[in-house]
Structures are given as structure tokens and as C-alpha cells.
A and B are shown apart, each in its own frame.
Chain A
Amino acid sequence: MEKALLSGNEAIARGAWEAGAEVAAAYPGTPSTEILQAFATFDDVYAEWSANEKVALDVAVGAAYAGKRALAAMKHVGLNVASEVLFYSSYTGINAGLVIVTADDPGMHSSQNEQDNRNYARFAKVPMLEPSDSQEAKDFTILAYELSEEYDTPVLIRSTTRVSHAKSVVTLGERTVHPQRKYERNPAKYVMIPSNARGRHPVIEERIRKLREWAETAEINRIAWGDRKLGVISAGAAYNYAREVFPNASFLKLGMAWPLPERLIREFAAGVEQLIVVEELDPFIEDWVRRLGIQVRGKDIFPMVGEFTLDVVRESAEKAGLLPPSGRKPAPPLADLPPRPPVMCAGCGHRDVFWILRKLKVVVNSDIGCYSLAVLPPLDTTDTIGCMGASIGVASGMTIAGLGKFRGRPRRNVAVIGDSTFFHTGLPALASAVYNQTPVTVIVLDNRNTGMTGHQGNPASGDTLQGRPGKRIDIAEVARAMGVEYVATVESRDWPALEKAIREALDFPGPAVVVSHDICVFREHYTREPYRIIEDACNGCTLCFRIGCPAIMKSKVIDVESGRPKAYIDPAQCVGCGQCYDVCARQAIEPGAPIEFNL
């Protein structure tokens, strides 16, 4: 059979396809994004980017009700947004199989928290499978569809960064096609008014009891007896490290994160002298084992915070005396190397807006996207970032509460939100501000894509995941239609117009929206060749360094008078946006020639 080196995400997509899934919906988010991107490339499937995770999961639920196997995928915090759907779909059950993937991010490589989404399975009373590598990611996804239909429940798959973004070998299989199941009207099951929901709750409790019974003998929960002195219960990515750190121990590998078996754990515990649980983040398994009255160690040995690695697991085990000290002392990292934090791209239009906001000295309630990078030096112009869509509500609250005075004048604040985030969860907050007539200023950074996660389409771009014809929604028109009475549309490169609009919006007595068209260099291009420093005119004042363009660096040439290095523009990186030209007070920057487009 054909084998392939697949990432966990590609393997999940492959598993869904082999299982005959036909409809998939998601909102992008690291480390989950590639699941839908991979699924979208298969034949005979429908895949979409929805406006947010809640919508994505509703769409998948609808398709499953209609009788087609469906998939929804999201990052861990996406499930917070979709959690309402998770809870009602747990009660209604499905018709055709429904699989929901949550990709968690221990270590927060690209997230605002490291919540452990195994808790959702228990909370919403739905089963959850937890693969450790790509083969399991594929196999467990197929199994999840079977469980989903057999037990009439959505099934969660929990992945983590080191499963989603690790590649390993997968044996490929064929696609099984399932005829669409008939949709039959059944309000007692699908209409969750209280009287019906009361009828469903006992069904859900019974379902989880049956699933626990299934978990007792399921192949994916397996014991491998080794040395009986130490028994290790582990799951997910942590299992891979535990297997290497304790090569001789007995293992209970749990492929099902919820419900957890009881007899199987008792049997394993009884067979070993000492029992430990190796799991990332929360003591989820450990708490359950302890509840069974079994003596176990876990979070007193292994950290609750951050991502596991071989080193973390080994060092913790050595400290706890589970392993003899290896005496191995890896060299310390080389000191004094320049850090390399991520930066906005050369020519990113978000830089324009933050440059003006910095000048206006307003409090900035920002949001999640590439523009989050404006919190780092040299722009250093952001006061709050919480979760997607928080900017407008938080800015409203600050506007309502007031911020006192700054240099004798009222201190003011603005919300800054990207186009994708605006449609994700910004809309209800804006509706609220209009309804209550909160005089909040909202700046929408409209670069017509979801930049941060890899330039996906969204309602502001109109581009769809599988290239079907979509429709672009104009944000300014939306704001007007929602009753915002001050709406300005500006090109971010036009600084005077941008500043004027923001000032007017701040002074406007009601909610005000400025839609700034920011160029994302992955989507649109400037029309000039690289700019150039006029060396004789540059005195190394550092002004152009302060916009933070990665194409601008210190020259080797030192200005004789100031003793400072002059500026240098790397022609390989410069995209010809002209931001540096606009800040330079000495006319020391020369624009590149207009690019002739031969159409």
C-alpha cells in the first residue's frame, strides 16, 4: 500500500476524506489551518472558510444533520468561540458522522493562551480521541466517524502543535463513499427547546456511559507490559517523549482522552509498583485516576505549564528520582546573539496606521492579526490585546469609563481590528456600540485577507477556499448600514488623509469607523522599484529606522559629523512602499522608478 510522509494535519484531512466526509468548514488558526487546506484539495468534497469557528461548526452540524459526513477544524481557542455549538450538538446528536478537530498549542507558539481542550470533551459530554502521530491522526479520524454514527454524537479529535506540525509516515487507503443518509424531521431530537432538551440529557448521560464501556476494550487504549516497577499512563504528543525517556517501563497508552476507562486503568495500576501519568498541560488523566482511588503521581513531577520536550520529561523524571541522574549537561546556549522576533513585512500597510496612532498618542485597544506585531519596538503602540474581536468591546468600555487626562487633554482610545477579525467577532461589538451610541472610534485595517495565518480568503476578500465564485463585502458599507454616522475610507499610504480621518472620528460624538485600506504584500503590489538612500544627504538620524521596516538597516558608512551609521536600504527586501520616504525629514531617500507593467 502507498505510504506518504504527512503532517498530522494532512493526515487528519486524509482520514476524513478516506472516511467519506463530504463537507468541511473551518476558520484558520495555527496549528490547525492546514487541515482544511489539505481537505479542500481532494475530489468530491466541499470545503469553506467560514467567518468564524462558531459558524464553521454550525455549517458542519447542518451538513451532518442533512446526512453527509462532515468535518470542522479549529485551533484550541476557536473551540471557545464554537463552544455553544459543541454543547447543543452534543444534545441533538448527529445524523451522518461529525468530527470536530481542536488543535491545541502547548507552549503558545502562536496563541494567547495554552488551554487544555480535553476539558471540553468532559464538559460537553462528547468523546475525544487523541492521536500521537500522523498514522494515528488518520486512523483515529476514520474511527471517529464510526463512533460518531454508532453513538449518535459529535466526536472531538484533539491534536497539538507537535502532532499537527510533525511529519511521519502514513499508509494511505482508499475513500469509502457513503450514500447520503436521509434527513427525517425529528423535533424532539433536533429542536432544543427546554422540554426537548430535558428529554435529551439522560440520553447523553447514557451515551457517555456506553462509550466508557467501549473505552475499556478499545484497541486505541492499549497496555504494553514492560518492567513492572514503573507504569506510565500517557497520551498524545507526551507519549512520544515518555516512550523514549522510559524505554523499559510498562505503558498504558490512551488513544481516547474522554471518556476514560476505569477497569483498564485499575488493571494497569494493579500490575505495576509505581504509577505515573505523563501528560501535557492539565492533570486531566491524573485527576481521573485519583478519583478512582488509585495512587498516582503526575503534576508533582512534570510541569503543568508549557510544552513538553524530551529534555523536559527526562529532567523532571531525573529530579523525581524515577531515572538515575544522567550527569549529562548540555552546553548553555551561545550568549549575546541578536534576537530575531517576527516583524511586519517590508511595505505592510498596517505600519502606516500605527505610525499615525503613535503620533496621536492614543490608547490603542488592538486585536489579533499581523498588526499585533505593532506592540513590539520600534512601533511599540498597543495597549491591550485579548482575543479575536475584543478590540471594539474593550474600546467601548474604555470610552464609556473614560481615561482621565493626558497632558491636560482628555486621554482617548481607539479600537484597531483587521478585516478578518472584524467579520469574525467584530460585528456584534460594533452593533452594540451603535445601538448604545457609544462614541467609540474603530479603525478597520482592511488588507482583504487573513494575513497572520497565511493569507486565507475571508468575507472582505471574497476569495473562497476552493476557488468557487464568492462575494466581497465592503466594510464601510456594512458600517453605514449598521447606522454608523461617521464612516471614512482611506488608503493607508495617504498619511494626511488617514490622520485627518482618525482625528475626525475621535471628535465625532457617536460611534465612528475608519476603514483603512492597508496593503498586504502577499496580496497586492506597490508600483515602484526599490527606494534608495541618498548617502550624501543621510546623516544617520535614525528616523527611518523607527518605522521598523526590515529592509532598512544600518549602513557600514558612518556619517562624519554625527558619528552615526547612515541608513541603507536592502534592494532585495524593499517593495517600494515609500513609508521611509514619508518619514525622512532630510529628503535623503530617493523613490524607486515607477514599474512599467507590460500587460
Chain B
Amino acid sequence: MSMTNFLVTGVGGQGTLLAADIIAQVGLAQGLDAKKSEVHGMAQRGGVVVSHVRWGEKVHSPLIALGTADFLIGQEVVEGGRFLHYLKPGGVLLLSSETLPPPSLTLSKMEYPPAQKVIDAARQITDRIIFIAAPQLAEELGNRRVANTILLGALSAQMPEVDPKFWLDVIVRRVPQKVVEVNRKAFELGRKMGQEIAP
């Protein structure tokens, strides 16, 4: 039974749950079954947010297993790294260059790691790695909040079998009316980025 597994990871406030919702709905739009699961609660207090999404003919478990994510979408460098072990060998890592140093670092000797550390570790698992300067690109588009849409655009580029119109339809439905246009642009830009760096 073929199954597509996604793991979306980020920090409270980054819009992780919405991004995962969109992915699940794109699965449904294609006539597939889809499930998603996450833990709410601590998200607002700057904690880690992880959302599992699965598409398939029939999905039972709402959680994916370790080492089986076809796509790991890290909305933040450390949180992408923290869940690398979910990535399937040969799977796709989409990592945003966003860095949000946890407050615990201020009183510790530990340093926020360079993105390269995460990328190097990912290379042990796959060479399909896309590192995107999503926050800067979003800033250039005039809205920091579209960083996630850029990532979704890049994700869509890595799934050529899915008509991009499914993605756009869901995104347009899920974002506020007045930012539809900038999200559309962000998605197209993400698609380009995802293609350019694609293997």
C-alpha cells in the first residue's frame, strides 16, 4: 500500500499547524485519504511543534514511523535537525534558513548550531536537500508570514505528480483574503526554488 509521509516541524508561532493542514487537504483534494496529528498545548509558549501528515489509499495511523518521512519540512534550522531521524533514506529535506535561538541558550555554554551541521547530518540520509532562505525571500515579497508558503511551493516542486493547482486552491482557501496575492507569489517563488535546487 503506497503511503506518502510528511513531517512538518517548527517553533510555536511559526504556523506549523496551518502548513500541515494545507498538506493534508491537498491529499484529500486528489481523492486520497489523509490524516494528520500533532500535539497542541505548549505551542504558544515557544515550544517545539511537530505535525505528522500522511496521504494514502487508506491511512490508519495518524503518526509516521521513524525513518519513513518522504518529506521533512523544517521551518527552523534546529527543529529541522531535531527530527532528521524521521527522514527516509533518499527522502527530501526542505529546510528553511530561519534561526530562532531557544531562550535556554542565554545561560548555557551551548551555541546555536550552524545550518551546515544539520545539512551535513542530513547528507548521511539523503542527497535531496533543499535549503531555502525563506525568511529573506518572504521579506522581499513584503510579508514575513509567507515563508511557509514558499516552503510549500518548494515541496510542490518536489512532487511533480501532483498538479500545482491543488496546492494553490487549498492555499487560497486557507489564507486571509487580503494576503491571497502575496501567497500566490510566494508559492510560485517557492516552486522555482524547489525546482532549481532539485537533483
Contact = CB atoms under 8 A, between A and B. Distances in A.
Contact of B21 (A167, A336, A344, A545): A167
Interface in B1-33: 1, 11-12, 21, 24-25, 28, 33
Contacts of A133: 35, 62
B104 A338 contact: yes
Given A240-B62, A331-B85, A373-B45, A338 B39 contact: no
Given A166-B35, A553-B103, A31 B40 contact: yes
A342 B103 CA distance: 9
Nearest to B89: A331
Contacts of A370: 45
A342 B43 CA distance: 8
A342 B45 contact: yes
Contacts of A549: 103
A344 B59 contact: no
Contacts of B86: 330
A109 B41 contact: yes
Given A133-B35, A166-B62, A168-B34, A5 B41 contact: no
A153 to B, nearest CB: 31
Interface stretch (B117-125, B147-155, B184-192): B117-125
Contacts of B34: 5, 168-169
A337 B85 CA distance: 13
A553 B99 CA distance: 13
B63 A309 contact: yes
A243 B25 CA distance: 23
B67 A244 contact: no
B129 interface: no
Contact of A340 (B46, B83, B113, B124): B46
Interface string A320-341: 0000000010111110111111
A31 B85 contact: no
Contacts, number: 158
A378 interface: yes
A332 B66 CA distance: 10
A310 interface: yes
A338 B102 contact: yes
B104 A339 contact: yes
Nearest to A34: B40
Contact of A344 (B25, B45, B63, B101): B45
A110 interface: yes
A492 B25 CA distance: 45
A34 B39 CA distance: 13
Interface in B41-80: 41-42, 44-48, 59-67, 78-79
Contacts of A5: 21, 24-25, 28, 34
A26 to B, nearest CB: 16
Interface string A433-464: 00000000000000000000110000000000
Given A5-B25, A30-B40, A168-B34, A378 B66 contact: no
Contact of A333 (B35, B38, B82, B108): B82
A341 B47 contact: yes
Given A167-B21, A168-B35, A340-B78, A240 B103 contact: no
B118 A162 contact: no
Interface string A273-298: 00000000000000000000000000
A6 to B, nearest CB: 11
B138 to A, nearest CB: 14
Interface in A410-438: none
B37 interface: yes
B85 A334 contact: yes
A54 interface: no
Contact of A342 (B21, B25, B47): B47
A311 interface: yes
Contacts of B59: 168
Interface string A146-169: 000000000000000110011111
Contacts of B118: 334
Interface in A333-357: 333-334, 336-345
Contacts of A340: 11, 46-48, 78-79, 102, 104
Nearest to B36: A167
A69 interface: no
B193 interface: no
Given A342-B42, A344-B45, A162 B103 contact: no
Contacts of B12: 342
A361 interface: no
Interface of B: 1, 11-12, 21, 24-25, 28, 33-42, 44-48, 59-67, 78-79, 81-86, 101-108, 110-113, 117-118, 121, 124-125
Given A342-B45, A545-B106, 15 more contacts: A30-B40, A110-B39, A167-B36, A309-B65, A311-B66, A330-B85, A331-B85, A334-B81, A334-B118, A338-B108, A342-B47, A542-B106, A549-B103, A550-B103, A553-B105
- Counting from the closest, the 3 A-B pairs by CB-CB distance are A330-B67, A342-B45, A330-B66
19 contacts: A5-B21, A133-B35, A162-B62, A241-B61, A243-B61, A309-B63, A310-B65, A330-B65, A332-B85, A334-B121, A337-B81, A341-B102, A343-B104, A344-B45, A545-B106, A546-B107, A550-B46, A553-B106, A554-B106
Interface of A: 3, 5, 30-31, 34, 109-110, 133, 161-162, 165-169, 239-241, 243-244, 247, 309-311, 314, 328, 330-334, 336-345, 370, 373, 377-378, 453-454, 522, 542, 545-546, 548-550, 552-554
